[in-house]
Chains A and B, each alone.
Chain A
Amino acid sequence: MRRSTAAAVGTLTGAALIIGVRLSVSTPPVTAAAPPAIDLSGNGQDDTAAPEPSASKKGGSDKAAESSSESSSDKDASADKDSSSGEAGGSGLKNGVFQGTGSKNPYGTIQVSIKITGGKITAADATYPTTADSATINPPAIKKLNEETVKAQSADVDAVSGATFTSESYVKSLQAAIDKATP
Chain B
Amino acid sequence: MHHAEHVMGTVVSIDLADDLPEDTLRGLVGDVCAWLHEVDERFSTYREDSEVCRFRRRELTLEECSPDMRLVLDACADLWRSTDGYFDAYAAGPLDPSGFVKGWSVEVASARLAAAGSTHHCINAGGDIRARGLSSSGKPWRVGIRHPWEADKLSWVLSLADAAVATSGTYERGDHVFNPRTGKPARGLRSVTVVGPDLALADAYATTALAMGTPGIEWLAKLIPDGYESAVVTDDARAFTTPNLPAAV
Contact = CB atoms under 8 A, between A and B. Distances in A.
Check if A and B associate: yes
Interface of A: 142-167, 169-170, 172-176, 178-179, 182-183
B2 A182 contact: yes
B127 interface: yes
Per DSSP, chain A at the interface is loop
A167 to B, nearest CB: 5
Nearest to A157: B144
Contacts of A164: 10, 102, 126-128, 168, 172-173
B167 A162 contact: yes
B107 interface: no
B151 A172 contact: yes
Of B10, B220, B237, B238, most A-chain CB atoms within 10 Å: B10
Contacts of B157: 153, 155, 157
Interface string B151-192: 111111110000001111111110000000000000000010
Contacts of B237: 150
Contacts of B154: 151-155, 157, 160, 174
A159 B172 contact: no
A160 B127 contact: yes
A173 B221 CA distance: 30
Nearest to B126: A164
Nearest to B218: A144
B28 interface: no
B200 interface: no
Nearest to A174: B152
Contacts of A183: 2
Contacts of A154: 152-154
Contacts of B51: none
B144 A155 contact: yes
B142 interface: yes
Given A142-B224, A143-B224, A162 B172 contact: yes
A160 B129 CA distance: 8
Interface stretch (B52-60, B83-91, B110-118, B239-247): B239-247
B191 A163 contact: yes
Given A150-B148, A155-B157, A179-B4, A160 B143 contact: yes
Contacts of A151: 154-156, 239
Contact of B238 (A147, A153, A162, A179): A147
Contacts of A143: 221, 224, 242-243
A142 B171 CA distance: 30
Nearest to A145: B240
B146 interface: yes
Contacts of A148: 239-241
A161 to B, nearest CB: 4
A163 B168 contact: yes
A142 B238 CA distance: 21
Contacts of A161: 124, 127-129, 143-146, 158, 165-167, 193
Contact of B221 (A145, A170, A174, A182): A145
A183 to B, nearest CB: 6
B151 A174 contact: yes
B205 interface: no
Contacts of B193: 161
A173 B169 CA distance: 15
B243 to A, nearest CB: 6
A163 B167 contact: yes
A143 B4 CA distance: 39
A142 B153 CA distance: 32
